Amino acid sequence: MIEVSRLTKIYGQVLAVDGISFDVPKGQIVGFLGPNGAGKSTTLRMLTCYLPPTSGGATINGFDIFHQSEKVRENLGYLPENVPLYTEMRVEEYLDFRGRLRKMDRPSRRQRIDYVVERCWLGSVRKRLIGHLSKGYRQRVGLADSLLHNPAVLILDEPTVGLDPTQIRETRKLIKDLGGQHTLLLSTHILPEVEAVCDRAIIIAGGRIVAQGSPDELRASRRLTARVLVECRGPAEQVKTALSHLSGVSKVEVTESDGHSNEKFVTAAVRPKEAYDVREEVARTVIQNGWPLREIRLEHATLEEFFVQVTANQAAARVEPGSDA
């Protein structure tokens, strides 16, 4: 459905996208994950024929993005970042305009507008001016527009940014429902979003693909970078030694915070050796030593830490086969 090969974009001196290649099979939902400035939007803009690639190419539904640009755009629904819309138009009027641009005839326009309005929960604002709508509703108008012509491929640039938690949940559910009928490529910088919605994730940083895999694989690598934070009242040195001696623990860092009695509170950050949950052992040790336990929690790495970790793992994985041989 989407085939990308060595796609590259250079803006002046800046290398934004550096020869990335990937495939999205029919009916799959693929998440394009990366920190800000990783080259996500640039890649999506090249795939939607808004920007031409500097080199490399891609096909969408079998059509080349450079030579068959109009065919590509006919088969594509696109929700750009920040959802630009004509604010002076009414929702229904806007969708009708978009349908006419796509040369849909009147009956199919009517039928599809009814469908997408219902699908994107726009029924109550159908006749409202887009400029008067909240960010969440505008996002849905953009989504409705991208679905209007029932495209084979949907490309969504950060579809949940700026939505409130309920809307995020609804939008994710909608996206999940759309998979199967449509092939979806969506970008995000929210890791759990990919895990919740996508069949596969492509992780990009600095314009390159640094990792790709299923949400399960992602979750596994995420657990690898998680650490357990324990707060208890006890002598810092002893806490550190006791926790370090646990079998699954690779590293313990202890910080002291002020308490009102002689003994201070200590917070220990425990890093496990492998993808292994050490919370129970940690809790048991603290209690057996008689240190009052205040808090224990699993802390996931931030996306940036995760990227560093994933990239490091990649480098290690590349070295290992060589050393075996």
Q: Answer yes or no: are the C-beta atoms of 24 and 182 closer than 8 Å.
A: no
Q: What is the dihedral of CA 165, 166, 168, 170, to 10 degrees?
A: 170
Q: How deeply is 179 buried, as exposed, middle or buried, from its count of CB atoms within 10 A (0-12, 13-18, 19+)?
A: middle
> For residue 20, what are its two tokens?
């990335």
Q: Interface mask (CB under 8 A) for other proteins, residues 44-83, using x and -?
A: -x--xxxxx-----------------xx-xx-x-x-x-x-
Match 């492509």 to its residue by tokens: 202
Pairing of strands 63-64, 76-79: unpaired
Match 């495209």 to its residue by tokens: 151
The footprint of other proteins on this chain (CB under 8 A) covers a number of residues equal to: 30
Nearer to other proteins, 41 or 188 (CB): 41
Span 126-145, contacts to other proteins by CB under 8 A: 142, 145
Q: Which range of residues in 91-99, 185-193, 215-223, 263-271 is near other proteins by CB under 8 A?
A: 91-99
Q: Which range of residues in 32-40, 43-51, 55-63, 223-231 is near other proteins by CB under 8 A?
A: 43-51
Q: How far is the CB of 165 from other proteins (least distance, A)?
A: 26
Instruction: Pick the binder of other proteins from 26, 67, 100, 284 (CB under 8 A).
Output: 100
Nearer to other proteins, 89 or 308 (CB): 89
End-to-end CA distance of the chain: 37
Instruction: Pick the binder of other proteins from 37, 97, 123, 150 (CB under 8 A).
Output: 97
Q: Which range of residues in 89-97, 232-240, 288-296, 307-315 is near other proteins by CB under 8 A?
A: 89-97
> For residue 153, what are its two tokens?
């491929």
Instruction: Pick the binder of other proteins from 40, 98, 112, 227 (CB under 8 A).
Output: 98
Nearer to other proteins, 63 or 307 (CB): 63
**Which string of DSSP letters, residue by residue, matches 63-117?**
EETTTSHHHHHHTEEEE-TT----TTSBHHHHHHHHHHHTT--HHHHHHHHHHHH
Q: Which helix (H) or strand (E) holds 124?
A: none
Q: How far is the CB of 42 from other proteins (least distance, A)?
A: 12
For residue 304, the one-letter residue type is: E
Nearer to other proteins, 83 or 232 (CB): 83
Site of interaction with other proteins (CB under 8 A): 11, 45, 48-52, 70-71, 73-74, 76, 78, 80, 82, 84-89, 93, 97-98, 100-103, 142, 145
